[in-house]
Structures are given as C-alpha cells and as structure tokens.
Amino acid sequence: MPWISLCSERKRVRETAALTMQREHDKVMPRSYDHLPTVGAFISGDSDLIGKAVRRSRELLPKSKAEQEPPSPTLLPHAIAMAIAAAYEDYDPSAVFEVIAAAKYTDASADLQRIVLHILGRGPKPTLVKPPVEVASDEEWIDLVFQGPANQALDLALTPDHPRWTTLAMFTLPLAYLLARDAKSWRDRFAALVRFGPFAAVENEIVYENDVVSEDLEVRKGKTRWHVGFDVLRLHQDELFVYHYVGAAASAADAMKVMPDVLSRADKEWARLQRTIEPKLWKRVAKTIEDACTHTIVYRKGRNPISQKWLQETAARYHVRLEAADVVETNDESVKPK
C-alpha cells in the first residue's frame, strides 16, 4: 500500500516543490531541469502548483533541445518529465519521444526509453498484472520499478520517503502517462494516478492526511521519517481505519519501537484531529472510535514481519484493534477492509 506513503508525505512533498519553484522564481537558486518539483506538484494535487510546474516545463523544455537531439542520460528523466507536464496543457510531446526512441541508452536510461517506446505504441504491449508480488529487498523494489508490470511499477515508485526517491521519481510521470494516455479524460486519470497510485480506490474515503511537518531541515529532505502518529484516517461506510506509517525503510524492529509511544498518546492525537477535521465529518469519525476502529501499522516487512503475538499483546495493552501491513503490498485487496 504505497498510497499510504503518498498520504503521509504529501504535505512535505508539496512544500518542497513549492519552495524550490519559488526560490527559482526569486533567483535565490538557479533554475534547473530537475524533475522533482514537477513530480511533487502533481503528487500534491494543488492545481495552482501544477500550473506553475507546467509553465516551468514549457519554458525550460526548448532550452533542453530535447526536440532536436537525444538528451544525455543525466538530462533524460528531466526531459521526459517536462514533455509530459507540458502535454498536460496541450503540448504535443511526440517530437521529444521520437528523438528519445531513436537514441541508444543503457541501464536505467534504457528502462526509461522502453517506457517511451510503449507510449509510442512500439514493441510488445506493456505488462499489466494485479496479483501481489513479493518484494523482500530494496534491490527487488528498484528492479520492479525499472522493469516490472506498469501498474505495480508505478505503485512502488510513488513512495516519496524511500531513500532512493530521486531515482524512483524519474519513473512516476512516464508510467502514469503510459497508463492514462488512452483514457477518455486522460488528464484526470493521469492526475489521479500520480496523486494516489493505480490501486488506491480510496481517495473519497480519506478524511485526514498527515499535516505535521518537521522544522528539521535534514528530516524535511526526506532522509528520515519525520512524524509517526495518526497519519491517515479512512472512513469506509461506518468503519474507521487509522494508518500509522512508520516509513518505506522502517523494519519490524523500528515499528515495534515507535508504536507504543504513538498509541500511548492516542488521546492527544484524537484531540488534535478533532481540531483539524471539519465538525460534520468529525461526528462520523467520533462515532467509530470506540467500537469500529482498526489501527494499522504500515512498515517495511521484508523477511522479518511483526509477530502476531506482539500485535495481540500491544492491542490488549492499549485497548485497540491492531493490524500490520507491508508498504509494498501492490494489490487491490490492500485497500479493502477485511
């Protein structure tokens, strides 16, 4: 369920993208071709910020000469992101894609080129599968994003707190564009895919996303998880699901270390949420807290999962329903209540 990473990190990603573009505008820092502000704008779902990112791409793309000559491997992910962002406002990216398709690339650049070829309708059709996959290591995670089925690759790429987010982010816009381009309203489909991922049909059920942002600059750069609490609240009919996101790189040991503190301050968290969530919606939330609320720890399962014994003992100690889920679950079932 990488969509939990998006919900938990969205505010930080938005602020980082907005700050970068503002600093470029104010000439505090040089304007670059960097794809991250553009990816961050689409993840944020903020229409004004997306508009700024699109204009930035339209202005920078001609300077990159990507329509005339193959971008270098370093420039390639930025050129693809700029072309796709510009297409969001009626730019035809085919010239850029044709230049890229005719070039010779290796390694990660070749994987990006393969997606461009799929977008152009060349070669074998992209693979799309729904069954869950086993992702035990970071190497398997990265390999799946680079070469796996398009929907699962996008799902795993959309994890902004992953230690290799800069690399994963290179694949988000081309994969989303590939999956959305044939839709009747492709812009709406594209925006939804980047905002929540391909499997998370839960957007209308989300009543709260983490809005706590650390002032620690190292934390804000994404080097560590900056807050673990009641990160995401989802109301499904008359049931409430509270997700505690420990992080894309967090192990079972990390989760078991931090969660007792999170659950011990539940009253403070509920009080904070009552001040944050609009009153009419809060009434629905409040009705579920005692008898229809499930807490889910989302962490990096790997090969060492949290034991059922620990979950049962911790649930009994804090008088809650408690479950655990792997952040890399890529399956429709991961967003459905049991």
The answer on 187 and 233 residing in a single domain is no
In the block, tokens 């005719």 appear at: 102
Residue 246's contacts (CB-CB under 8 Å, 6 or more residues apart) are: 225, 228, 254, 255, 258, 259, 297, 298, 299, 300
Please indicate, yes or no, whether residues 9 and 74 belong to a single structural domain of this protein. yes
One domain for residues 27 and 175: yes
Judge if 228 and 330 occupy the same domain: yes
15 and 93 share a domain?
A: yes
In the predicted model, is pLDDT for residue 82 greater than 80? yes
**Whether residues 228 and 295 fall in one domain:** yes
Residues 185, 228, single domain; the answer is no
Q: Are 166 and 115 in the same domain?
A: yes
Residue 245's pLDDT is what? 92
Domain count across the chain: 2
pLDDT of residue 232: 94
Using only C-alpha atoms, the chain has a radius of gyration, in whole angstroms, of: 20
Q: Which of 158, 176, 177 is nearest to 168 (CA)?
A: 158
- Is 105 in the same domain as 246? no
Mean pLDDT over each residue of the chain, to the nearest integer: 89
The continuous run of DSSP H or E covering 242 comes out as strand 239-245
Q: What range does the domain containing 159 cover?
A: 3-196
Give the HSE-up count for residue 35: Cα atoms under 13 Å, Cβ half-sphere.
23
- Write down which residue in 150, 166, 196 finishes a domain: 196
Using CA atoms, how far apart are residues 329 and 317, in angstroms rounded to an integer?
28
Mean pLDDT of 173-187: 93
**Which of 196, 211, 246 is the last residue before a domain boundary?**
196
Q: Is residue 81 domain-shared with residue 159, that is, in the same domain? A: yes
Q: Which of 148, 173, 196 is the last residue of a domain?
A: 196
- One domain, residues 27 and 166: yes
Model confidence at 120: pLDDT above 50: yes
Residues 24 and 132 both lie in one domain: yes
Cβ–Cβ < 8 Å for 78, 100: no
Instruction: Report the predicted TM-score, pTM, of the whole model to 2 decimal places.
Output: 0.90
